[in-house]
């Protein structure tokens, strides 16, 4: 049942396609908080009212099923206050009827999604666009700069295999409680490849 999924578990959480559909209200456009070349980010709402960010990936040939699950296992280990936490993933294949040369044939339809913690205060880019640099006092400026540096250091040096962001920008820095910065989109550089990452989604938090 989708209301029994434990998103706080320390173990990798594999989620069903049915769960993804339910928490996004069957991909309700009113819940879209970001989009890009390779997918759409929805605000997901669990039955217990817990909010999550659901990144639904479009069908991408380059992502092999085994590679997808293996990479998730690696990314699931990441736990740092300045890195958006990856909570779960969906990787299911559905049999569907499609038209082919005038006939109906059975084909595989892939459903892939990543589930992250939901960061309520939006991106640093949105704050800069709305208020400019004057929107923060020096204490907040320092906290954001320091947090970004700590998060990057963790991604690059926290494990034997480094994670390079490749597309760090204000839109990929989300602001959490007490304006603590959290780096987003850090895992897509390895899931989608270097070139694909430069074109990826830039929102996991609110607009």
Catalytic residues: 167
Q: Residue 70 CB: number of other CB atoms within 10 A? A: 11
State the Cα–Cα distance between residues 111 and 103, nearest whole angstrom: 24
Helices (H), the chain: 17-23, 65-75, 124-131, 138-157, 188-191, 194-197
For 167-201, b where at least 16 C-beta lie within 10 A, e where not — what string?
A: bbeebbbbbbeebbbbbbbbbbbbbbeeebbeebb
State the Cα–Cα distance between residues 191 and 60, nearest whole angstrom: 10
């Amino acid at each position: 049942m989708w209301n029994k999924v434990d998103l706080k578990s320390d173990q990798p959480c594999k989620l069903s396609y049915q769960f993804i559909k339910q928490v996004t209200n069957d991909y309700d456009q009113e819940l879209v908080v970001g989009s890009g070349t390779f997918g759409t980010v929805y605000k997901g709402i669990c039955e217990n009212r817990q909010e999550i960010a659901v990144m639904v990936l479009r069908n991408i040939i380059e992502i092999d099923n085994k590679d997808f699950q293996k990479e998730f296992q690696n990314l699931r280990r990441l736990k740092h206050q300045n890195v958006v936490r990856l909570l779960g993933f969906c990787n299911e294949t559905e049999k569907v009827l499609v038209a082919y040369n005038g006939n109906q044939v059975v084909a595989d339809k892939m459903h892939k999604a990543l589930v992250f913690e939901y960061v309520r205060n939006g991106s640093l880019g949105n704050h800069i666009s709305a208020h400019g640099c004057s929107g923060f006092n020096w204490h907040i400026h320092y906290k954001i700069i320091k947090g970004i540096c700590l998060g990057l250091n963790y991604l690059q040096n926290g494990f034997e295999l480094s994670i390079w962001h490749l597309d760090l920008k204000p839109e990929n820095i989300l602001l959490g409680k007490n304006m603590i910065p959290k780096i987003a989109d850090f895992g897509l550089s390895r899931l989608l490849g270097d070139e694909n990452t430069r074109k990826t989604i830039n929102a996991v938090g609110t607009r």
